[in-house]
């Protein structure tokens, strides 16, 4: 009997060779595999990527909001400048109108503006009709020539006219001053002598009534309104060609 060991089976598969560099040649996992990867490291990476993308979207939304805000602020600033310029121009014209009627124009503190101080109320009587306007504090310097009274003064009592009525009264006063029968180019205004006389008489009657209701006899305003009424009656009795209806300023 031979004492030699049993020879190996030639049909047995050899042990595979595993070199230390084998890990460098492993196939990269597919995206599907990565998506189903349950490793905490892969989850943290996805969360970091998603957080970064969300941060980029928020930064872009913030920039868009800031651009929109700056755009509308420029529009608001432009509107405010144009509004203030329009109010200043309005105040300039009212100051001129007040200067034309010094005896029947007063200014007082406005008590109907809540939350803001410095507002004024301008009261003016022209053609026997009261008109009033609010004056912004920034425009108060234009009305230094107007008599300042307290809100309880009889001359500073609102007669209830609306904005539409106020400007209708103003247009009526303009028409009254333009009743001279001719325009600046020499053409006829189309107003007959009878119509002109009737309008002037009606205006004179209204002036007398307003003088009695608003001012005490002997005051300057009362005397001026009566004088204007007398002048209107005189103009009503004269033909248009003999004079103009440009009533002197009260």
| pLDDT tens-digit series, residues 54-98 | 888 888 888 888 877 877 777 677 777 888 888 899 999 999 999
- Give dist(CA 133, CA 115) in Å, integer: 19
Sign of the CA dihedral with 189 first, then 193, 199, and 200 last: positive
Structure tokens at 61: 């939304």
Q: Which residues of 179-207 are buried (b: 16+ CB within 10 A; e: fewer)?
A: bbbeeeeeeeeebeeeebbebbbebbebb
Lowest mean pLDDT across 93-97, 133-137, 154-158, 190-194: 190-194
**Among the ranges 119-123, 155-159, 214-218, which has the highest mean pLDDT value?**
119-123
- Confidence band, pLDDT 50/70/90 cuts, at residue 175: confident
Structure tokens at 190: 């189309």
pTM (2 d.p.): 0.52
CA-CA distances (angstroms) from residue 107 to 15, 98, 154, 155, 159? 113, 10, 12, 9, 15
Helix (H) or strand (E) holding 131: strand 129-135
Domains of the chain, residue spans: 178-250
Phi/psi of residue 211, nearest 5 degrees: -60, -40
Average pLDDT score over residue span 190-203:
76
- Give dist(CA 36, CA 208) in Å, integer: 99
Structure tokens at 70: 């700056």
Structure tokens at 49: 């990527």
244 or 147: whose pLDDT is higher? 147
């Amino acid at each position: 009997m031979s004492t030699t060991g049993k020879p190996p089976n030639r049909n047995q598969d050899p042990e595979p060779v595993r070199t230390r560099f084998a890990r460098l040649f492993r196939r990269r996992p597919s995206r599907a595999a990565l998506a189903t990867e349950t490793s905490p490291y892969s989850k943290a990476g996805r969360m970091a990527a998603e957080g970064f993308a969300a941060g980029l979207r928020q930064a872009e939304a913030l920039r868009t909001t800031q651009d929109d805000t700056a755009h509308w602020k420029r529009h608001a600033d432009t509107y405010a400048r144009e509004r203030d310029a329009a109010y200043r121009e309005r105040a300039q014209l009212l100051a001129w109108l007040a200067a034309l009627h010094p005896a029947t124009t007063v200014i007082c503190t406005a008590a109907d503006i809540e939350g803001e101080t410095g507002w004024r109320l301008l009261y003016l009587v022209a053609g026997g009709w009261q008109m009033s306007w609010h004056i912004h504090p920034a425009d108060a310097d234009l009305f230094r020539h107007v008599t300042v009274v307290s809100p309880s003064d009889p001359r500073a009592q609102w007669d209830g006219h609306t904005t539409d009525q106020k400007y209708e009264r103003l247009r009526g006063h303009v028409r009254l001053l333009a009743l001279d029968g001719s325009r600046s180019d020499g053409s006829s205004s189309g107003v007959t002598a009878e119509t002109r006389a009737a309008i002037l008489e009606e205006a004179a009657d209204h002036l007398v009534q307003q003088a009695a209701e608003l001012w005490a006899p002997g005051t300057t305003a009362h005397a001026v309104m009566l004088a204007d009424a007398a002048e209107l009656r005189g103009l009503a009795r004269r033909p248009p060609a003999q004079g103009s209806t440009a009533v002197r300023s009260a």
